[in-house]
Structure 1
Amino acid sequence: MKHVLITGATSGIGQSLALSYASAGHHVYACGRNEEKLTALVRQYENITPLSFDITDKTQVKAACANINEIDIVILNAGDCLYMDDPLHFDSERFEFIINTNLVSMGAMLEQLLPKLAPTNRQNTENPQLVFISSSASLLPFPKAQAYGASKAGVDYLANSLALDLAKHRIDVCLVHPGFIKTPLTDKNTFDMPFLMSSEEAADRIIEGITKRKRYLQFPKRLTVFLHLLSSLPARCWQSFASKRLS
């Protein structure tokens, strides 16, 4: 049995991950703000410990993590998405909210959880794992996604940089780039979402990658590989296409 902490566990990918790990007999720390949804998870599996707090509030993060003694896997999944509708009237409050929710909040989580992941403080001899759920949106600039894309690009750099520094401490880092996943966030989208996957299928892919100790995980590859190819084109080519077809 492993101890798995998941942020954003009350909906979407996070909820599917929590249920999958719990059904496999692991102890899950399910983190979220919605106490009612957390209680519903506990009703399904007694091996789920609910942690209700706001990830953007350092005081709440510290209090929620205080009684956690050992973790094998931390999955930083919580996030939000709001689009910037008018570039000439840039909404700084919306931008700040998304950056804080998707990126800055990870600093508070890491401050509390990295010492608990350290092998010197653990009984399990396997390397602990730190997983960042980013987005394939960080691979290319998309219209109206200045806040969301910037936050996920920051998550990418944070994960890749920490992977270098944590290697000597025997903490394995995995960066995850999902494509379009059917969640309450994507339900609000009004544009086409090719290769849309369920959150359950996404959770299965992520758990498989974690089990195999993947350093980088992307899916569905039909989409992410195509985005990687597009990112190698001259910027003007993508700008012309995106401004005409995606705006």
Structure 2
Amino acid sequence: MAIQNVLITGATSGIGLALFEQYTNQGENVIACGRDPKKMALLQSRSFQTCLFDITEPEQVATAAQEIKALDILILNAGDCRYIDDAKHFNGELFSSIISTNLSSLGSLLQYFLPKVKKGGQVVFVSSSATILPFPRSEAYGASKAGIDYLANSLRLDLVEHDIDVTLVHPGFVSTPLTDKNTFAMPFILSSEQAASRMISGIEKRKKYLHFPKRLTLIMRLLSFLPSSLWQSFITRKVITSKGNSSNSHTREDQA
């Protein structure tokens, strides 16, 4: 099988780093992307190529894309998760920041990197199982990921004529520096390595939709069919505790 050129945004931590490790071990040409110079330096010797840029800065994205010739797989993974702790006093600045990082940034990423994807290639969007059901405090994060879902599913239709497949990924809870800050229960949590392995397997099979762990995602889908009063009671009782202990600092982990 021919060696593939795989570009990964948010390759310096979490799922992105695990994807980098596993694709590199498979012998693929991995193009690692991130915004932290120190972390990128650690990957540089092992990468086929590296691109240092902030996904929220279109000019940086455009400059980085000039260095890329052709891609087989484009994995749009970088993102952020912060919560709205007081809905009555809605944090519009935080909301805008999350939408910008997780959703709006995809506009420039697609503008400059999608033309590099070869015929027969793939674009992979890392969304979240949080779009299956609404969660408390997730107004910003959930809205951004729901937007990714629609974007991926719509783009898939328009890329058929170009013979480019689109894979939408709905991970459940994955152990990363971001989720380490969570103060609520995270059932069936996976390691970043487990999540990356499942993603790579699904990407190889060119699946349109990946969701894992199925023990969690199928339960969530079943709950979504219940009367809203029942699943709302379940979610608010089981998922959210210790409201005041979440972190809404402006540090961003480069994964979704």
If the TM-score is normalised by the length of the shorter chain, which range does it land in? Answer: over 0.9
2:70 touches 2:118 (CA, 8 Å); kept in 1? Answer: no
Counterpart residue number, 2:179: 186
Counterpart residue number, 1:31: 33
Q: 1-side partners of 2:73 and 2:61: how far apart?
A: 17
Pairing 1:165–2:143 present: no
In structure 2, list runs of 5 or more residues that go unmatched. 241-256
Query: How far apart are 1:118 and its partner, in Å?
Result: 4.3
Q: TM-score, normalised by structure 1?
A: 0.94
RMSD value, Cα:
1.1
Q: 2-side partners of 1:35 and 1:215: how far apart?
A: 34
Q: Deviations over 1:173-226 (max 9, x none)?
A: 000011110001100000111111110111110000011111110111000111
Q: 1-side partners of 2:49 and 2:21: how far apart?
A: 12
Pairing 1:150–2:122 present: no
Q: Deviations over 1:77-134 (max 9, x none)?
A: 0000000000111000000000010011011000011211142xxxxxxx10000000
Which AA in structure 1 matches 2:83? Answer: Y
Q: TM-score, normalised by structure 2?
A: 0.90
Counterpart residue number, 1:6: 8
Q: 2-side partners of 1:229 and 1:167: how far apart?
A: 31
Q: 2-side partners of 1:128 and 1:19: how far apart?
A: 21
1:179 touches 1:196 (CA, 8 Å); kept in 2? Answer: yes
After superposition, residues 168-247 of structure 1 pair within 5 angstroms as 168-247=161-240
1:21 touches 1:28 (CA, 8 Å); kept in 2? Answer: yes
After superposition, residues 57-96 of structure 1 pair within 5 angstroms as 57-96=57-96
Counterpart residue number, 1:111: 111
Q: 1-side partners of 2:150 and 2:81: how far apart?
A: 19
Q: 2-side partners of 1:105 and 1:78: how far apart?
A: 10
Which AA in structure 1 matches 2:64? Answer: A
Q: 1-side partners of 2:186 and 2:236: how far apart?
A: 17
Q: 2-side partners of 1:101 and 1:130: how far apart?
A: 18
Higher relative contact order (CA 8 A, sep 6+): 2
Any idea what SS the aligned residue of 1:128 has? strand
In structure 1, list runs of 5 or more residues that go unmatched. 120-126
Q: 2-side partners of 1:10 and 1:201: how far apart?
A: 17
Which AA in structure 1 matches 2:136? Answer: P
Change (3 A) 1:88 1:141: same
Structure 1 stretches of 4+ moved >6 Å? none
Which AA in structure 2 matches 1:60? Answer: Q
